[in-house]
Structure 1
Amino acid sequence: MGTEAKAIMENTILAENESIFDKVKPHAELIAALFSGVLIGAGWLLDKNGLATASIAIYILAFIIGGFAKAKEGIEETIANKELNVEMLMVFAAIGSGIIGYWTEGAILIFIFAISGAMETYTMNKSHKEISALMDLQPEEALRVTNGVEKKVHVSELAVGDLILVKPGERVPSDGKILKGHTTIDEAAITGESLPVSKDRDDVVYAGTVNLNGSITVEITKPNSETLFQKIILLVQSAQSEKSPSQLFIERFEGTYVKVVLAVVVLMMFVPHFLLGWSWTETFYRAMILLVVASPCALVASIMPATLSAISNGAKHGILFKGGVHLENLSHLKAIAFDKTGTLTKGKPEVTDIIVADGISTNDILLHVAAIESHSTHPLANAIVNYAKKTLGESFITPESIEDVAGWGVKARIADVEWKIGKAKFVGIEAAEHFADGAAARMASEGKTVVFVKRNDLVAAIIGLQDVVRKETKQAIDDLKKQGIYTIMLTGDSQNTGKAIAKEAHLDDYIAECLPENKVEHLKEIKEKYGSVAMVGDGINDAPALATANVGIAMGEGSDVALETADVVLMKNDLPRISEAIHLSKRMNKIIKQNVIFSITVIMFLIASNFLQFVDLPFGVIAHEGSTILVILNSLRLLKS
């Protein structure tokens, strides 16, 4: 065999070994724990057959293999923090059991402790699985198009302004907007929404989403490191590393508690012998049992697995928490303040009403108005044009002349007919006010913007436009009110608009004509009245209020500033997710309370039983470590929807 062939074979074997190692590594702790269990069984059989020395050797091996991971963790943390911890209590208890000849009990302690440790590791890995899955979704290569020539490049080489071709079935490599093509995109990785979304020219696409059916040419709008996809990964990673107030309290409590337990164990080694007449063996034996049963393993494991499971559950459904503290705080909310534009509403005006003069065709008016407004970039003009396209189609007539009258409207001529489109004073205030029995005033009272249309000397029509409430908004607000949460809107719009939107959205109250600094002032007043308050927004102007609230909630399609400032991000502009997030927070806090009460009850019961000499070491080990496993399993319920 040639040298090159040998090298290829060696590299292949090495790669296969590395692959096997990568698969086994996450389960190494569990494998070691189970192997130590096998050794305990072998040691017990040897002991029963009179081979005591051999059985002790096997038990010591079980101690080392089963307890290595947790002992290493305990020693490293003790050195780093200069404080004893739960892991060290277990090490002392196992060594003490061996010293007084209870090798089987000590080995069982290590075995169950190792199993519970493996369960904790499993929980951590499960919670990180969402991140690993996300990271695997983003392609490493992209098909860049330069002067009509296609070339595969690594995504890190893409720059803003580059053009890439995304074919059907491929994932989008980076954030951008479509320049050519039409397709349907699966955005579940970003928004948690299972239904695909239709995308056309100028629509935004995100890295990690799947192009389902059409080839599209996309212009890169963000560097790879700043894509929404990367922000999601960083947000969830940050959330999983940030500890909740409950977790921080337990960790502070653990250090003091361990010292107290060790002090009581030392007293237990001597006091019962002199005061109660126990034998030295019984005294030391009871001290070792106390060391086991008084250890706060289950208490320490009551919070972190539950928090990580809840954060992972939220990420899976498009709700990103920036830390356990925010997830915990959600269940305490008494009031939620909402921005209007882009949050409760779609953020873009839409045509809601068209009223025309008698004897005039609505389609004829719409055709001429859209033909004129198609030459404008004003949001109201765009709304009218879009409505006309849906109603009449894409083709419009061409005006002979157009004049933009700044601050008033637009004047045009089509087929020797003069058209004026704009404010009431522009077309004639008296005629405008009396048109259709004062219809314009009624529209204005409903919070709508009114555009007047004049044909030659006659006011021919009025068009009502409004930033319409999202279809899911009412259900979202109703769900929050059922949870006993007060809802209020803070908007910079007029009183009429604010009143109309608040009524349609089923809100409890509204405050109109708010500047960004006013929003902060009003939010502080709401906090004083209700205590814990959330703010929901999507724009740069909402950032101060988001930072002021107890919990800031940003819409995922909002500005980068809002996303950076908020504590919770809804990856899809889906308000019902807020109610889901609050429900998840309440579930988490309920499970944490269950865990804490259960673990404390078990510890107190076992301590009392030990002092009364009702419990022996094997039962103490099984009951104590079993409670830790049950607490972790209870926390894992939060991973389910």
Structure 2
Amino acid sequence: MKISRAILLFFIGIMIFFVGLILPGQFVIFKNLLFVITVFVAGYHVIGEGFGDTIKMSQSQHKFVPNIHILMCLAAVGAIIIGSFEEAALLILIFAGAHFLEEYAENKSHQEITSLLKMAPAEAHQLQEDGSWKIVAVTQLKVGDTLKVLNGSQVPTDGTITKGSASINEAAINGESIPREKQVGDEVFGGTINGNSTFEMVVTKDSQETVFAQIIEMVQTAQDSPGRTATTIQKLEPLYVKTILFLLPLVLLAGPFLLNWSWSESFYRMIGFLVAASPCALAASAVPATLSGISNLAHNGVLFKGGSYLANLSQLRTIAFDKTGTLTQGVPLVTDQYFNPQIAKDELLDIIVTMEKQSNHPLASAIVHQFPQAKELSDLSCQNKIGSGLEADYRGHHYVIGKLAPSISITPEDQQRQQKWSNAGKTVVYIVKDQQVVGLLALMDLPKTSAQKAIKFFNRHHIKTVMLTGDSTATGEAVAEQLQVQQTVANILPEKKVEIIKSLQQKTPTVAMVGDGVNDAPALANANIGIAMGSGTDVAIDVADVVLVKNDLSRLTFAYSLSGKMNKIILENIIFSLAVVVLLTILNLLQMTNIAWGVFLHEGSTLLVIVNGLRLLLFRK
């Protein structure tokens, strides 16, 4: 049955109920009839799930598996039998209202999926065999197809540029607001937005395997995977319901034979016990809070594959980080420079930048970026000599940019600079003119600002921080010192990362691993909580339990705070729910309350529990 029809019937039931309330007392028969109609109209959804789901689950598991709804149905029918028509209607109205509010919480958590699906591209311009272009559905694309992406349009799927260039906004994938320049051979991702140029690309992935599709799938998976507490409650629900059903005849018999009640009073108190003991609030203690937490985090760029990982995050005691691309920017930058004062610096910079523009080395782009004022010399060409660097002859002089050859002498001052920068974990590049060092450049992959804040946060919360890197010990320790990481393990292979994660797990119960590369995948899979950066490789994202879509580690600290808040809210809900059940049961046995008050307090407590869980939608760091 569609939920829209159930809600419509629910509101019709409310109107019928209020009509019954305002009718004068002399129309008591009509009033009671309207209350009975309210039970079956407003409770259509509740009755369907109570008996329908119980039958389905019992058949599938080959044993009696009742749910909470069936207790509510029996309580309403019992109230009608003893003539408490208004109480029966009120019971169903409040219970159904609480049920729809819980579904509202679930629907809120699915809004992130809806918005992501709307962002997904639907059509593409595909090259046909006759050389023409045809608009086709993205789902029809195959690996190897050639596509044309027009200016201002979405990239239809993952692929590689084969013709032209582009400035692409990749915020949908990695949260970065600054467009990225793409050339022939560069990878592009489905769902991103092309700038003011048109380019051609070849499809490299099926539409269901793109980074964008994986993100959508992870959010969907998260909705279907409640937290450990929620799962426990769901497993205990049938046992609890069966226990209450077993106790009902005992309560009925105990009245006349042990407490000297009349049979009518005993039956009334049995119905009151049924209302009081129904664990509606307990069942709603964890699910709305978990779904609200997942929804909030998805909206803020943190995707959880399951509620259990969110619940466990607050138990974190050790967190390990990959260095490159996770703690650092992932690209080198020029941090220090020195040029011989006797050399014309402007001319030398023109030569350096011209040579570096002819190289595809990662350091080359960093050097070019550092000196935007330099002019490119059209009459200078260079060669890339493996093992030494770039070499060029220009206007009677020989230039080398790269490593220092054994035959080149270096002054003590330059040697001190080189030693100082190397000790700081930086890569030193020499500028040589006619066998003489005329300049030095130091480059380094600098830490992210968000990483500095995140490490400080975890250190402050007494969570051990560890950095794992394949870089040299000097580079690793230099970055760790800047970030104040507590432990550094450098110069290691992927399998070694797994060993370290396992050794950390022997010391602390909950260990997380944060990474972005293929080499991090084994460690991510073995950690209690694997956390992948959104810009990472497909393998890393696949095996991770959490994805930081916006590559911002401050989002992880937000998730940690929200996890603690969520677990606190769930505990509050459980204690409150059990307290209400115990209180109402005692008051009912002492004959100090009636069914009307029992309905109001019990279902009112369910509403409060759900609203308390929904507070996580508004949680901010």
TM-score w.r.t. structure 1 length? Answer: 0.89
Q: 2:50 aligns with which of 74, 79, 82?
A: 74
Q: Does structure 1 residue 123 correspond to structure 2 residue 105?
A: yes
Which residue is 2:471 aligned to?
Answer: 493
Q: Does structure 1 residue 599 correspond to structure 2 residue 577?
A: yes
Shift of 1:45: 5.0
| 1:36–1:65 Cα contact (<8 Å) kept | yes
Letter of the aligned partner of 1:333 in structure 2?
L
Which residue is 2:61 aligned to?
Answer: none
Q: Distance in 2 between matches of 1:480 and 1:442?
A: 30
Q: Distance in 2 between matches of 1:614 and 1:316?
A: 47
Which residue is 1:471 aligned to?
Answer: 449
After superposition, the C-alpha distances for 1:514-535 in whole angstroms (9 at most, x for unaligned) are 2212212222222223331111
Letter of the aligned partner of 1:298 in structure 2?
A
| 2:174–2:535 Cα contact (<8 Å) kept | no
Q: Distance in 1 between matches of 2:544 and 2:431?
A: 43
| 1:367–1:396 Cα contact (<8 Å) kept | no
Q: Does structure 1 residue 35 correspond to structure 2 residue 24?
A: no
| 1:435–1:459 Cα contact (<8 Å) kept | no
| 2:120–2:191 Cα contact (<8 Å) kept | yes
Which residue is 2:320 aligned to?
Answer: 337
Q: Does structure 1 residue 328 correspond to structure 2 residue 311?
A: yes
SS in 1 for 2:208: helix
Number of residues paired by the alignment?
608
SS in 2 for 1:493: coil
Shift of 1:454: 2.1
Shift of 1:355: 1.7
Higher mean C-alpha displacement, 376-385 vs 61-70: 376-385
Q: Distance in 2 between matches of 1:599 and 1:226?
A: 44
Q: Distance in 2 between matches of 1:391 and 1:520?
A: 46
Which residue is 2:146 aligned to?
Answer: 162
| 1:357–1:436 Cα contact (<8 Å) kept | no
Q: 2:196 aligns with which of 214, 231, 237?
A: 214
Q: Distance in 2 between matches of 1:419 and 1:315?
A: 53
SS in 2 for 1:463: strand
| 2:353–2:374 Cα contact (<8 Å) kept | no
Q: Does structure 1 residue 280 correspond to structure 2 residue 263?
A: yes
Distance 1:26 1:135, change over 3 A: farther
Distance 1:468 1:450, change over 3 A: same
Shift of 1:366: 3.1
Shift of 1:94: 0.9
Q: Distance in 2 between matches of 1:206 and 1:408?
A: 36
After superposition, the C-alpha distances for 1:381-433 in whole angstroms (9 at most, x for unaligned) are 34334434x2415555413x6362x33334432222122333234453xx237
Letter of the aligned partner of 1:524 in structure 2?
K
Q: 2:596 aligns with which of 610, 615, 618?
A: 618
Distance 1:66 1:408, change over 3 A: same
| 2:328–2:448 Cα contact (<8 Å) kept | yes
After superposition, the C-alpha distances for 1:520-565 in whole angstroms (9 at most, x for unaligned) are 2222222223331111100111111111211110001111110011
Distance 1:395 1:125, change over 3 A: farther
After superposition, the C-alpha distances for 1:154-199 in whole angstroms (9 at most, x for unaligned) are 222334452323343x444333466546556372x44456x45354
SS in 2 for 1:472: helix
| 1:449–1:465 Cα contact (<8 Å) kept | yes
Which residue is 1:223 aligned to?
Answer: 206
Letter of the aligned partner of 2:269 in structure 1?
R
Shift of 1:611: 1.1
SS in 1 for 2:331: strand
Q: Does structure 1 residue 88 correspond to structure 2 residue 60?
A: no
Shift of 1:360: 1.4
Q: After the TM superposition, which residues 314-463 of structure 1 pair with which residues of structure 2 at under 5 Å, given as runs?
A: 314-388=297-371, 390-395=372-377, 397-399=379-381, 402=383, 404=385, 406-428=386-408, 431-432=409-410, 434-463=412-441
Q: Does structure 1 residue 546 correspond to structure 2 residue 530?
A: no
Q: Distance in 2 between matches of 1:477 and 1:297?
A: 41
Distance 1:209 1:425, change over 3 A: closer
Q: After the TM superposition, which residues 99-110 of structure 1 pair with which residues of structure 2 at under 5 Å, given as runs?
A: 99-110=81-92
Shift of 1:93: 0.8
Q: After the TM superposition, which residues 171-320 of structure 1 pair with which residues of structure 2 at under 5 Å, given as runs?
A: 171-176=154-159, 180=164, 183=167, 185=169, 187=171, 189-191=172-174, 195=177, 197=179, 199-201=181-183, 205-210=188-193, 214-217=196-199, 219=201, 220-320=203-303
Shift of 1:229: 1.8
Which residue is 1:529 aligned to?
Answer: 507
Q: Distance in 2 between matches of 1:127 and 1:411?
A: 58
| 1:181–1:214 Cα contact (<8 Å) kept | no
Q: Distance in 1 between matches of 2:488 and 2:456?
A: 16
Which residue is 1:12 aligned to?
Answer: none
Distance 1:417 1:98, change over 3 A: same
Q: Distance in 1 between matches of 2:403 and 2:170?
A: 43
After superposition, the C-alpha distances for 1:289-322 in whole angstroms (9 at most, x for unaligned) are 1001111000001111111111111111111100
Distance 1:176 1:387, change over 3 A: farther
Q: Distance in 2 between matches of 1:148 and 1:415?
A: 49
Higher mean C-alpha displacement, 376-385 vs 453-462: 376-385
| 2:351–2:376 Cα contact (<8 Å) kept | no
TM-score w.r.t. structure 2 length? Answer: 0.91
Distance 1:485 1:205, change over 3 A: same
Q: Distance in 1 between matches of 2:313 and 2:366?
A: 37
SS in 1 for 2:596: helix
After superposition, the C-alpha distances for 1:477-509 in whole angstroms (9 at most, x for unaligned) are 222223332212111111211111111123222
Letter of the aligned partner of 2:105 in structure 1?
T
Distance 1:394 1:617, change over 3 A: farther
Higher mean C-alpha displacement, 508-517 vs 236-245: 508-517
Q: Distance in 2 between matches of 1:342 and 1:377?
A: 19
Letter of the aligned partner of 1:238 in structure 2?
T
SS in 2 for 1:453: strand
Q: Distance in 1 between matches of 2:131 and 2:352?
A: 40
| 2:317–2:462 Cα contact (<8 Å) kept | yes
Letter of the aligned partner of 1:123 in structure 2?
A
Identity of aligned residues (%): 40
What stretches of structure 2 of length at least 5 have no aligned partner? 59-63
Letter of the aligned partner of 2:420 in structure 1?
R
Shift of 1:617: 0.4
SS in 2 for 1:225: coil
Letter of the aligned partner of 1:37 in structure 2?
I
Higher mean C-alpha displacement, 419-428 vs 623-632: 419-428
Distance 1:485 1:172, change over 3 A: same
Letter of the aligned partner of 1:164 in structure 2?
K
Q: Distance in 2 between matches of 1:199 and 1:409?
A: 26
| 2:226–2:291 Cα contact (<8 Å) kept | no
| 1:344–1:469 Cα contact (<8 Å) kept | yes
After superposition, the C-alpha distances for 1:217-257 in whole angstroms (9 at most, x for unaligned) are 35244332222221111101111111221111111221221
Distance 1:474 1:363, change over 3 A: farther
| 1:432–1:452 Cα contact (<8 Å) kept | no
Which residue is 1:49 aligned to?
Answer: 26
Q: 1:98 aligns with which of 80, 101, 104?
A: 80
Q: Distance in 1 between matches of 2:275 and 2:547?
A: 43
What stretches of structure 1 of length at least 5 have no aligned partner? 1-23
Shift of 1:260: 1.8
Letter of the aligned partner of 1:111 in structure 2?
L
Distance 1:215 1:425, change over 3 A: closer
